[in-house]
Structure 1
Amino acid sequence: MATYAIGDIQGCCDPLKRLLEQIRFDPAQDTIWFVGDLVNRGPDSLGVLRLVRNELGDRAITVLGNHDIHLMSVWSGHGRLKNSDTLRGTLDAPDADELIEWLRHRPLMHVDERMGYAMAHAGLPPAWSVAEAQLRARELERALRGEIPLDDLMDNIYGNRPIEWSDDLEGYDRLRFITNAFMRMRFVDGEGRLLLREKGRPGAAPEGHYPWFIARRRLRGARDPVKLVTGHWSLLGFHNDDGVLSIDTGCQWGNTLTAVRIDDGSEGVYSLKCPEHD
């Protein structure tokens, strides 16, 4: 019984299938953790959703990423497709409603204390412990699953502020920070405040800003009780240090798709070259 974590798929269905063959995935007993961003930019988001939902089913554990939320936003009538989006085929599919409703019910965070790993798309801000992050994830999950009408929610959770967490945050300000922390964060300042406009390499942040996991370790003063499995940051690439296993290796850009075995202590890495897409 093996458990693998796989980096951002972003609509690259054929590479995903080939990587599953490479690791000899056994759907009868093995499990896959997906770090989010199943869809967009690659050529076959619809195929990825159908594969993960219909074929892998309970053997797949998926957390939500920013591109998954973008698909929900367009579907709800709030968002608009960008020139770089490849979501039209998914939105026009006869099973689009079923697939996106399924996506709405994916978690923001997954924790397995027995294995010693937790998973979130972008990471965890320094302000939250792992236990606190789980509580914050549940808040946004309830909203996404119908506590708030989806079109109203999507009208209000986009934006770069607030940049700093406070337990006193309320309403959409609170949900917007939770959204950005789980799905968009890369850099923070020395106090843990989010810097969302900067998307470059780890060394490219303005003075006084750091990769979130560096600031997290400094501000919290100790490692987390679980290792954090993340994606989202293709320019960071494969990173296995600082209590973080980051595995977005840029398949959608013609780089690689990465799987890591996380159940047996080996953290064996499997990498597959991806084709470039227009």
Structure 2
Amino acid sequence: MTEQIPPPFAFGDLQGCRNPFQRLLGQLSPSDNTPLWFAGDLVNRGPESLATLRDVVGFGERAVAVLGNHDLHLLAASAGIRRTKNSDTLDDILAAPDAAELIEWVRHRPFAHFENGMLLVHAGVLPQWDVTLTLELADELQRALRAPTWIETLKDLYGNEPRRWSPDLKRADRLRVAFNALTRIRFCTADGAMEFAANGGPNAAPEGYLPWFDAPDRQTENVTVVFGHWAALGLMLRDNLIGLDSGCVWGNRLSAVRLAASPAERNVAQVDCTECKALGN
């Protein structure tokens, strides 16, 4: 008889907050075959980035972790593309004896994952993208970041332009738009022009912009999008939308949701993250 796989538990941004993560795992008590989904930003700003990353790597194939902007900052810092900031907590990873293996593991994570009607991304998707196009663009990004020329690719991915998707974009611009949407977006216009300066709650949208998930005629409304990235948004649960970044690294809470097919069965678990507040600020 084939072993039945339980629904995954999806976690919000860990950002190196290992103690809350371990307490939340203890509260959930997942079975040995329960998939564990992570909405990106496993590392940085919290006090134990190295240990947190090793914990997730240790889950093996059970762990499905999409790349977040802080994970990509780790890759950029390891490659000498970007300097670490005073608020970063990446030095323990970069100086670790297994740093090369950890960097390789991070570099081979996906930008999007789709399974059983659930789309997992770090930040969001543009309103014109359906699941098929989202996965195609994520796959193109993944293959570029896994190639021998990944450092040159990563250099070219940083930048705010172009802010709008078009199927006619050349490869470098297409990759940058996909990179920014999947790992940075919060607000966009109704027709998908991204805005990167505002990081407040959904009511703080600049004039002419709205949260990406409220864009009219969004082409992913027929699936459940699971995402993190937006701490000021907090935990958000709609039938087809699960926002999981509840600001653990800012001293708030770490959240996890059981990704049952029925919204009524999507149990939420949370723990306080008081010990992460000092390093998060």
TM range (shorter): over 0.9
CA RMSD of aligned residues (A): 1.4
Aligned residue identity for 1:130: V
Task: State the partner residue of 1:151.
Answer: 151
Secondary structure at 2:21 match in 1: helix
For residue 242 of structure 1, report the CA deviation from its aligned partner: 6.9
Find the partner of 1:252 among 246, 249, 254: 249
Task: State the partner residue of 1:272.
Answer: 271
Secondary structure at 2:270 match in 1: strand
Task: State the partner residue of 1:132.
Answer: 133
Structure 2 CA distance for aligned equivalents of residues 57 and 223 of structure 1: 29
Task: State the partner residue of 1:38.
Answer: 42
After TM superposition, the structure 1 = structure 2 runs for residues 164-179 of structure 1, keeping only pairs within 5 Å, are 164-179=164-179
> Identity over aligned residues, as a percent?
46
Find the partner of 1:14 among 16, 19, 30: 19
Secondary structure at 1:137 match in 2: helix
- 1:2–1:29 CA contact under 8 A, matched in 2: no
Task: State the partner residue of 1:96.
Answer: 99
For residue 212 of structure 1, report the CA deviation from its aligned partner: 0.1
In structure 2, the CA distance between the partners of 1:264 and 1:172, relative to structure 1 (3 Å rule), is closer
Structure 2 CA distance for aligned equivalents of residues 273 and 19 of structure 1: 9
Q: Give 5+ residue unaligned stretches, structure 1.
A: none
For residue 61 of structure 1, report the CA deviation from its aligned partner: 0.7
Secondary structure at 2:47 match in 1: coil
- 1:191–1:219 CA contact under 8 A, matched in 2: no
Secondary structure at 1:5 match in 2: strand
Q: Which string of whole-angstrom CA distances, capped at 9 and with x for unpartnered residues, describes residues 204-254 of structure 1?
A: 111110000001xx134x763320000000000011127310010010011
- 2:15–2:49 CA contact under 8 A, matched in 1: yes
Find the partner of 1:79 among 79, 82, 87: 82
Q: Which string of whole-angstrom CA distances, capped at 9 and with x for unpartnered residues, describes residues 88-108 of structure 1?
A: 111000101101101111111
Q: TM-score, normalised by structure 2?
A: 0.93
Secondary structure at 2:217 match in 1: helix
Structure 1 CA distance for aligned equivalents of residues 47 and 114 of structure 2: 31
For residue 168 of structure 1, report the CA deviation from its aligned partner: 1.3
Structure 2 CA distance for aligned equivalents of residues 80 and 172 of structure 1: 23
Q: Give 5+ residue unaligned stretches, structure 2.
A: 1-5
**Structure 1 segments of 4+ aligned residues over 3 angstroms from their partners:** none
Single out whichever of 34-43 and 165-174 deviates more from structure 2.
165-174
Structure 2 CA distance for aligned equivalents of residues 151 and 192 of structure 1: 28
Structure 2 CA distance for aligned equivalents of residues 83 and 195 of structure 1: 25
Task: State the partner residue of 1:59.
Answer: 62
For residue 263 of structure 1, report the CA deviation from its aligned partner: 2.8
Structure 2 CA distance for aligned equivalents of residues 192 and 219 of structure 1: 11
For residue 171 of structure 1, report the CA deviation from its aligned partner: 2.8
Structure 1 CA distance for aligned equivalents of residues 253 and 66 of structure 2: 20
Structure 2 CA distance for aligned equivalents of residues 269 and 242 of structure 1: 14
